[in-house]
Amino acid sequence: MKTAIKCIQISTINFLIKNLGKITDYREANELLDQLSGIDTFFRNQNEFLTLLGLLKPSFMVCEGSGRREYGDFQTPSILTDSICSYLNNKGIVPDIVIEPTFGKGSFLVSALEYFPKFKKIYGVEICESYYWQTKFTILELFLKNPDLHKPKIFLYLDDVFKFDFRLIERSIEKHNVLVLGNPPWVTNSELGSLNSKNLPKKSNIKSLNGLDAITGKGNFDIGEYIILMMLNSFSKYNGHMAMLAKNSVIKNLIYDLPRTNYQVDDMIALEIDTKKFFDASVKASLFECSFKHNTFSLILPENDKPVMLDDTCYFLGFDSLSEAILVWAILNSKPVKQLLAAIVFLDAKRPYTKDILMRISIDKIAKDMTYDKITDQIESLNENMLVNVTEDKWEVFLEKMNKGNSETKQLSLFEIMANPPSPFLTSTKK
């Protein structure tokens, strides 16, 4: 915290002295700072709060430690993070959740707050305590200067990325668009070993190697590469994107090793950056960007009370009521349907989803195995105006309609669920 205080602007220090000086309990301080910045648990305990109050006194002295080599520490300047987030925003990438596994001094997180105005949560992990505190203060300064800026919920963890349990994050992102971004360390395990560093991952076969390669870890490897593979392992099964700065040699290794893994990624590109300009480094590096493959059925609403016409690359269903459209949309995006499609669809085919494939989905049988609670869990990502169209009574009416269709001898076809002309549409698309 001492090092982080050195980077705080005078206006922020004055604000902290004025507003925290009269507070005696860290929980009260946390409530105030949460309202101002969205940061959850600014102080983890009373001791951290008292430490800050002590450092705010005029006589405090700080010094900057140097651990650049051990942590592969090439802090990303804000001009570059702004450029990257602006580029992603212009591409139409609109995340609900932003994740940065090694957030450093927080440049990427601050840029994300400025360029993605509607996302809901930030998750960040950082091992260096001075950077952890500096990022908190930098985010606080951002909101003090821009009080009307959208405030997502921000969760920052002081932890080792190699020991952090990312399953804690996975539980909250299943139905959201995720953006994993950042600049993981540019250092190899051999370099860290020569420094007797503890900033090393536990040996594991994350690349799905065979034989001696798996046993030995294939010798020297890049820490940044390992972290990117960790992120793909945790989050490639969800909707979203990845945008990570990495050495070109790391990106080549990633692309070479991907066929051995089951990571569902697509649209991979590498945009070279001027490392001399931004990092005063001679190594070649790029922004590695990719999308997570996740196939879903989309809910397409009318425009100006008129149905939307789609091209012949889409299969679509029409409904008389919005409630029925939402219910079928929830069923088609349920876990049983996803498991079925994962088992019978070949994603590398020119047209993975054909009419014959979709005809194998039995809406009525899946509906019988679902409860209203499961439906509400499935549709919670919709806005409130949409949710009012789905009630338990409407679900019971829908089930009765499905059961009536099931009384016939033939399977209730996905394309024969509703017989009347469409209003809202459902489409099957690959994202």
Q: Give me the mean pLDDT over the 127-151 stretch.
A: 93
Q: 411 pLDDT exceeds 70?
A: no
Residue 68 domain-assigned?
A: no
| pTM attached to this predicted model | 0.68
Which DSSP letter does residue 60 get?
A: -
Q: Do 180 and 95 form a contact (C-beta atoms < 8 A)?
A: no
Same domain (yes/no): 113, 196: yes
Which DSSP letter does residue 171 get?
A: T
Same domain (yes/no): 267, 119: yes
Q: Give me the mean pLDDT over the 96-120 stretch.
A: 93
Q: 216 pLDDT exceeds 60?
A: no
Model pLDDT, residue 415: 53
Residue 64 domain-assigned?
A: no
Model pLDDT, residue 299: 85
Model pLDDT, residue 220: 52
CATH number at residue 146: 3.40.50.150
| 7: three-class secondary structure by DSSP | coil
Strand order in the sheet with 316-318: 295-300, 425-430, 316-318
Helical packing angle, 129-145 and 10-20, nearest 10°: 90
Strands 178-182 and 240-247, sheet pairing: parallel
Residue 207 domain-assigned?
A: yes
| H-helix or E-strand spanning residue 247 | strand 240-247
Same domain (yes/no): 120, 265: yes
Same domain (yes/no): 87, 197: yes
Same domain (yes/no): 280, 301: no
- Encode pLDDT of 42-59 as tens digits: 999 999 999 988 888 754
More confident residue, 3 or 62: 3
Q: 151 pLDDT exceeds 50?
A: yes
More confident residue, 192 or 117: 117
Q: 217 pLDDT exceeds 80?
A: no
Residue 147 domain-assigned?
A: yes
Same domain (yes/no): 211, 283: yes
Same domain (yes/no): 141, 276: yes
Same domain (yes/no): 289, 312: no
Model pLDDT, residue 208: 52
Residue 69 domain-assigned?
A: no
More confident residue, 425 or 407: 407
Q: Tell me the residue range of the domain where 7 lies.
A: 2-55
| H-helix or E-strand spanning residue 372 | helix 372-378
Model pLDDT, residue 59: 42
Count of domains forming the chain: 3
Q: 282 pLDDT exceeds 70?
A: yes
Strands 153-158 and 178-182, sheet pairing: unpaired
Q: 120 pLDDT exceeds 80?
A: yes
Same domain (yes/no): 133, 268: yes
Rounded to whole angstroms, the Cα distance separating 30 from 41 reads 6
Residue 93 domain-assigned?
A: yes
Same domain (yes/no): 95, 230: yes
Residue 192 domain-assigned?
A: yes
Backbone angles phi, psi at 238, to 5 degrees: -110, 165
Rounded to whole angstroms, the Cα distance separating 237 from 264 reads 6
Same domain (yes/no): 123, 249: yes
Strands 285-292 and 240-247, sheet pairing: antiparallel
Rounded to whole angstroms, the Cα distance separating 101 from 376 reads 31
Same domain (yes/no): 113, 261: yes
Residue 88 domain-assigned?
A: yes
